[in-house]
Amino acid sequence: MAAGTVDRADDPSGEPLADPARRARLQALLLAWYHRTARDLPWRGDADPWAVLVSEAMLQQTQVARVVPIFASFMARWPTAPALAAAPAGEVVAAWQGLGYNRRALRLHRAATVITSEHGGTVPEDLGVLQRLPGVGAYTARAVAAFAHGLAVAPVDTNVARVLARLHGRALSRAAAQERADALVPDRDPGAWGQALMELGARVCTARTPRCDECPVAPMCAWRGQGPDPAASSAHRSRPQARFEGSDRQVRGRLVQALRERPVPGPELSAAAGEPDAERVRRLADALVAEGMAEWDADALRLPR
């Protein structure tokens, strides 16, 4: 094949990466690029399953740059699941400041409690057991299994699903994306492979402005920027978030932020939340209590002890 030519030969099965030789070439190209250019992130290369679980919990819907400093301080404070389980839930929520989506802090604390009480303080290896931990879904379970335990499984997030749809040149359902991801996992170093796919989607094969000219696996891509983007109609595609300004999520966030500083008496809740509708604020405060995110102490709302 001439230099610069895109290798798009059709496979009789209709799967452009079904041929073992083509898969091996894809794996070699992507892994070489990853080992040469990967970002130096504190949770990469760490085989500690607890550290991987914490990082994945923090990275859900949160930019890497915001996670890095908080991850370091969080792990220094609670280096093991039993250490976190022994801490008051309110302290964990307080330490989550800057990451958003505060429910994740509570779920991670609950997961640590289950890991401590049911698994001897060790993050389990089995996918099914991992997925039964609070706040751990299919993606996070596979990430821990691959990155920490070295199992040949493929975590599929939005970035990975986008890369897969473009490589295959077709829109993919969630099940189809997972099936194709699993088929591509190499026998050696599945953790690095999973990280490489994520890195490619985050830095090169991006949603809005893919840099196909810089892509290390462009010769293997069935799309390569030509025609309709197959990722645009795939199940894992990113969707615009609902308006944040003035939303219940914004008011809840303000309440939690106020509680990080001190307990807030009931009459001061509206001011703390920046919301004049006292009935709305009380409803949201009660919802935080029902979720275990806060508790009433006499007539003051506080983080849980």
- Model confidence over 197-255: pLDDT tens digits? 999 999 999 999 999 999 999 999 999 889 999 998 887 665 555 677 778 888 988 99
Distances (CA, A) of 78 to 95, 109, 130, 172, 213: 11, 11, 20, 39, 43
**Residues recognised as catalytic:** 56
Residue 240, pLDDT score? 54
- Average pLDDT (160-181) is 94
| Domain at 20-40+153-233: CATH code | 1.10.1670.10
Model's pTM, two decimal places?
A: 0.84
> Of all residues in the chain, what percent carry a pLDDT higher than 90?
64
> Domain extents for the chain?
20-40+153-233, 49-147, 248-302
For residues 198 and 60, give the distance between their C-alpha atoms in angstroms, rounded to a whole number: 13
pLDDT at residue 285 above 50? Answer: yes
Q: Retrieve residue 254's tokens.
A: 């303000």
For residues 299 and 305, give the distance between their C-alpha atoms in angstroms, rounded to a whole number: 16
Q: Are 178 and 156 in contact (CB under 8 A)?
A: yes
Distances (CA, A) of 111 to 9, 51, 90, 97, 119: 47, 13, 15, 19, 11
Give the CATH architecture of domain 49-147.
Orthogonal Bundle (1.10)
Residue 11, pLDDT score? 40
152-163 residue pLDDT tens: 999 999 999 999
For residues 85 and 83, give the distance between their C-alpha atoms in angstroms, rounded to a whole number: 6
Cα 7 off chain centre by: 32
For residues 196 and 161, give the distance between their C-alpha atoms in angstroms, rounded to a whole number: 13
| Fold entry, domain 248-302 | Arc Repressor Mutant, subunit A (1.10.10)
- Average pLDDT (61-84) is 94
For residues 155 and 161, give the distance between their C-alpha atoms in angstroms, rounded to a whole number: 10
